[in-house]
Amino acid sequence: MVTPTDIIQQVFAGKDASRALGKTSTKPEDAVPEWKDLSDKEKGTLDDWVKFFSNRYNVVGIVEGATNLDDESAAASS
């Protein structure tokens, strides 16, 4: 049986879903890394997700070229 959670995971699997997280979207076309043109509110939502995942899971690396990390996070991943 396929659940809604399975469908959401399929949308995000193997992708930088920054835009989708900021927009709180499960649309496949939003599961892309472009986030700089998000509204301030959406950027805040994305930041909340970063904090949520960082507190819940060990950060084992960063996406090469990522520009949305603070200096402390980037240094910890180096």
pTM of the model: 0.70
Confirm if 20 and 27 have CB atoms less than 8 A apart.
yes
Q: Which domain holds residue 52?
A: 4-77
Is the confidence at residue 39, as pLDDT, over 80?
yes
Q: Compute the Cα dihedral for 41, 49, 34, 72 and give only its sign.
A: positive
Span 47-69, pLDDT tens digits = 999 899 889 999 888 777 766 66
Alpha helices in the chain (DSSP H): 4-12, 18-23, 40-56, 71-77
Backbone angles phi, psi at 19, to 5 degrees: -60, -45
Give the number of domains in the chain. Answer: 1
Per residue in 2-25, pLDDT (tens digit) is: 676 777 778 888 888 899 999 999
Is residue 63 within 8 A of residue 16, CB to CB? The reply is yes
